[in-house]
Amino acid sequence: MIEVTDVSKTFALPKERKVTLREHLLGLVLGRGAGIESLRALRGVSFRVHKGEFFSVIGKNGSGKSTLLKILSGIYAPDTGGVKLGGTLSPFLELGIGFNPDLTARENVFLSAAVMGLHRSEIERLYDRIIGFAELERFQEQALKNFSSGMQVRLAFSVAFMVDADILLIDEVLAVGDASFQQKCYDVFRRLKGVGKTIVFVSHSMGDVKQFSDRVMLLHEGRIVSLGDPEKVIHDYQLLTAHEDERRIAMAERARAAAGETFRPPADGKRWGSGGAAVERIVFTDAAGAEKHVFATGDEVRARIDIAVTREGIASPRVTAAIHRSDGIVVMETRSAPLPPAGTGTRSVSLVFPAIELLAGTYYFDVGVAPEDARIEPHDLIKDCGSIRVYQDSGSLHGETAGICALAHEWRAG
Amino acid sequence: MRSSRARYFELVKVLGFTDFKLRFSTSILGYLWSVLKPLGIFSVLYLVFGRMLRFSDVPHYRDRLLLGIFIWGYFAEASTAGIQSLLGKSHIISKIYFPRSIAVVGASINYLLTFGINLCIVAAFFFIDGVGFSRYALLFPLYVAELYLIVLGISFLLSVAYLRFRDLAEIWTILITAGFYATPILWPIEQIADPRYRKLLYLNPMTFIVEYSRRVLIEGRIADDTGSVRTFLAGNAVIFAVSLLLFVAGFIVFRRVSPRAAEYI
């Protein structure tokens, strides 16, 4: 059981870190007040973790997650408030705590385990299992510096998971190792959860959080924003990041507009065509016509595409759009019917998705103007002309957890 | 789960032995260096000061010098390591909680091991030079303990300060060098004829430790030249009080400041 009551923590960050005496003296002479910035990492955080619970903490970078873990583990002392722990605690804030490259694997196991609180006799008893789990039986007497980074990580993991504490603090350690080793670690997680260990887990991987957690807590700017059911809190988190992203992107767009830059010319190799007509811009809006960059699955998305025809004789061009992910997987390519005949000048078309079926992620739009005959080279084609971010609003979903696309589906009995 | 005291004792041991091992594991002669280094320094100093400057007329100068060098060597190395102990263990301190004093104690324990080995060499020299063993030699462990308290006190005080003021390492190196010449290690204390100046020397606690260790081990007496033991007893009381005070002061400061050690790294 963990009880955290009204914990606050502020760091005084010198704007320029003074490390030497000269700098300190100079600081005193020149007035040091100007050099201090205070960072309020945690502001009055209170919560309880029950015995045997798998409790995850999520939040953006700088939200106070790591500070909270460090306070739970006693590395930092809180400014106010207190932490009560009902049992022994073992933090895995980093793998291989105490590892030294000049020592052998065996010596490092003993050193690291001692740092984490194991007695020599316990380590001796567990040693073969530790080395076995790491699959390093043949390399026990080799210096750690001769190990590949993967081998070092395996060894570190094996030591970490042998520690027999009631409460485990785990900070984002699952992000390492190859797939099969990761699987082993998941198994250990399940076992730890099964034997009733209390686990506090900090991660950015919503998949892991959802898979293991009993309850989730969302931190934002040092405060608890949401706490409870994993699905709900993860959703709150996605909403939070979506709003933040929207604000950030909109601000960047506004700054660009203010600078008189209407469209960023794409980098070399991202634009080609035979000329005569050009894509001018793509603007995403919601159903009401307000410009947006971040959408929830199921939202109406409208992409207005402006093109400029400069050559006589291109009366009825088609507009093309390809939606793809950053890894190149194309969700869909589509092209409009030939536009109604018109002369040169600027014209617009809108690509409307009444309820976008994309799942969480960032999607890029390649936009082009093509001749009526689709076999001929396009007049203009811009790769990654625009992009939208999609988050999943759990209210509009039917059980989809990950992927590209929400295909219409239902689950039936039998 | 075992008591945390047992656990932390284990940690002191492991950290201390690991440091000891790491100090020598990468050199060809390994542990031998812990003996060879002070012996080498001793040989140079003995040649320069003992032979050329004729200090060797002093009875048992060689043994006095060797003992002095080893005591000072322990003080210099252990205090330097102690001051740097928190920063040196920063990779652990910022990742896991344990009483921060363990890092400091672990660092000085390591040099205590070397000191122990060195004392065996001193014993060999004593044997060769026919230095007898008197019952007063039993006082020597007391001086080692006081020396250890002084080292710990300094380490506690300065290891936290070192996290903020990285100049300390350089300053301490200079102080150690100055201290080596300001303490009667090379030169016999009798060189200072004026009793007032000689008293001044005793402001330095290391003078007590070095001089009294020599007296009980080499001279085998506790009385001064006039045959009185009063100054000796008073001196012992002073050095005991000073070392204890330094240790307690260091520990109190350390206890107040060290919970924030991880933030200063």
For B126-167, the pLDDT digits (tens) are 999 888 888 888 999 999 999 999 999 999 999 999 988 888
* Residue A71: inside a domain: yes
Is A410 a member of any domain?
no
Angstroms from B42 CA to nearest CA on chain A? 31
Q: What is the pLDDT of residues B4-22, one digit of tens each?
A: 777 788 888 888 888 878 8
A36: contact with B, CB 8 A cutoff? no
Average pLDDT over residues A32-42: 72
Cβ pair A93:B95 closer than 8 A: yes
Mean pLDDT of A243-260: 77
Its domain, for residue B229, covers 4-264
Q: What is the pLDDT of residues B225-258, one digit of tens each?
A: 777 788 888 889 999 999 999 999 999 999 998 8
CATH label of the domain that carries residue A344: 2.70.50.60
CA distance B262 to chain A (A): 6
Asked whether residue A127 is assigned to any structural domain, the reply reads yes
Per-residue pLDDT tens over the stretch A350-379: 999 999 999 888 899 999 999 988 788 899
Tell me the percentage of chain A whose pLDDT exceeds 70. Answer: 88
Describe the crossing of helices B101-128 and B140-164 by its angle, rounded to 10 degrees.
Answer: 140
Residues of B in CB contact (< 8 Å) with A are: 1-2, 6-7, 10-11, 14-15, 18, 21-22, 25-26, 91-98, 164-168, 259-260, 262-263
- Residue of chain A whose Cα is closest to the Cα of B17: A111
Average pLDDT over residues B209-233: 85
pLDDT at A266 over 60: no
Mutate to test the interface with A, among B14, B15, B166 (most CBs of A within 10 A): B14
- What is the pLDDT, as a whole number, of residue B30? 73
A114 to chain B: which residues are within 8 Å by CB? 10-11, 14-15
B7 contact residues in A (CB cutoff 8 A): 117, 119
Do A384 and A327 lie in one domain? The reply is yes
- Cβ–Cβ gap A114/B263 under 8 Å: no
Residues A158 and A283 in one domain: no
For residue A247, being part of any structural domain is answered with no
A95 in a domain, yes or no? yes
Q: Do A189 and A321 sit in the same domain of this protein?
A: no
What's the CA gap between B203 and B179, in Å, rounded?
A: 12
**The sheet that has A80-85: what strands, in order across it?**
A36-49, A2-14, A80-85
Query: Are B106 and B12 contacting, i.e. CB atoms less than 8 angstroms apart?
Result: yes
Confidence of residue A11 (pLDDT cuts 50, 70, 90): confident
Are residues A159 and A303 part of one domain?
Answer: no
What is the structure's pLDDT at A192?
82
Question: Residue A176: which pLDDT band, with cuts at 50, 70 and 90?
Answer: low
**Average pLDDT score over chain A:** 84
B38 has pLDDT over 90: no
pLDDT computed for residue A27 by the predictor: 65
Indicate the pLDDT class of residue A38, thresholds 50, 70 and 90.
confident
A197, A278: one domain: no
Interchain proximity A102–B260, CB inside 8 Å: no
Does the structure show a pLDDT above 80 at A23?
no
Chain A partners within 8 Å of B14 (Cβ): 110-111, 114-115, 120
Asked if A103 and B21 come within 8 Å (Cβ–Cβ), the reply is: yes
How much is the average pLDDT of A93-105? 82
Closest to B15 (Cα-Cα) out of B73, B118, B86, B83: B86
Q: How many structural domains does chain B have? A: 1
**Which chain B residues have a beta carbon less than 8 Å from that of A11?**
263
Nearest to B26 among A93, A102, A117 (CB): A102
Tell me: pLDDT of A175 over 60. no
Taking only the tens place, the pLDDT of each residue in B165-203 is 888 999 999 999 999 999 998 888 888 878 888 888 888
- Give the position of tokens 């330094």: B246
Range of the domain at A373: 263-396
Q: Which of residues 393-412 of A touch B (CB under 8 A)?
A: none
CATH number, residue A96: 3.40.50.300
Q: How far is A146 from chain B (nearest CA, A)?
A: 14
Q: Please list the residues that pair with A179 across neighbouring strands.
A: none
- pLDDT, average across residues B27-43: 82
A159 and A275 together in one domain:
no
pLDDT of residue A263: 54
Provide the pLDDT confidence category of residue A260 given band limits of 50, 70 and 90: low
Question: Number of folded domains in chain A?
Answer: 2
Short-list B194, B73, B223, CA closest to B65 = B73
Highest mean pLDDT among A13-27, A43-57, A82-96, A145-159: A43-57
- For A110, name the nearest residue in chain B, comparing CA atoms only: B14
* pLDDT at site B84: 92
Dist CA A128 CA B154 (whole Å): 42
ipTM over 0.85: no
Comparison of pLDDT for B46 and A46, the residue scoring more: A46
Interfacial A residues in 44-83 facing B (CB < 8 Å)? 70, 73-77
Instruction: Say whether pLDDT at A253 is over 70.
Output: yes
**Contact residues on chain A for B165, CB-CB shorter than 8 A:** 19-21, 24
Residues A30 and A100 in one domain: yes
Beta carbons of B1 and A88 less than 8 Å apart: yes
- Partner-chain contact A98 B91, CB within 8 Å: yes
Residue with token string 């689950």: A411
End-to-end Cα, chain B, rounded Å: 31
- Same structural domain, A225 and A278: no
**Residue A207 CB contacts under 8 Å (≥ 6 apart), including other chains:** A401, A402
> Which of A55, A16, A20, A44 lies closest to A32, judged by CA?
A16
- What does the pLDDT read at residue B1? 41
A178 plus A270 within the same structural domain: no
- Cβ–Cβ contact A17 with B under 8 A: no
pLDDT band at B2 (very low <50, low <70, confident <90, very high): very low
Chain A residues close to B21, C-beta within 8 Å: 103, 107
Q: Decide: helix, strand or coil at residue A8.
A: strand
Which pLDDT does position A12 carry in this prediction?
Answer: 79
The gap from C-alpha A404 to its chain's centroid, in whole angstroms, comes to 17
A121 touches chain B (CB under 8 A): no
CA distance B64 to B46: 11
CB contact under 8 A, A75 and B97: yes
Q: Per the CB < 8 Å rule, is B262 touching A21? A: no
Q: Is the CB of residue B198 less than 8 Å from the CB of residue B189?
A: yes
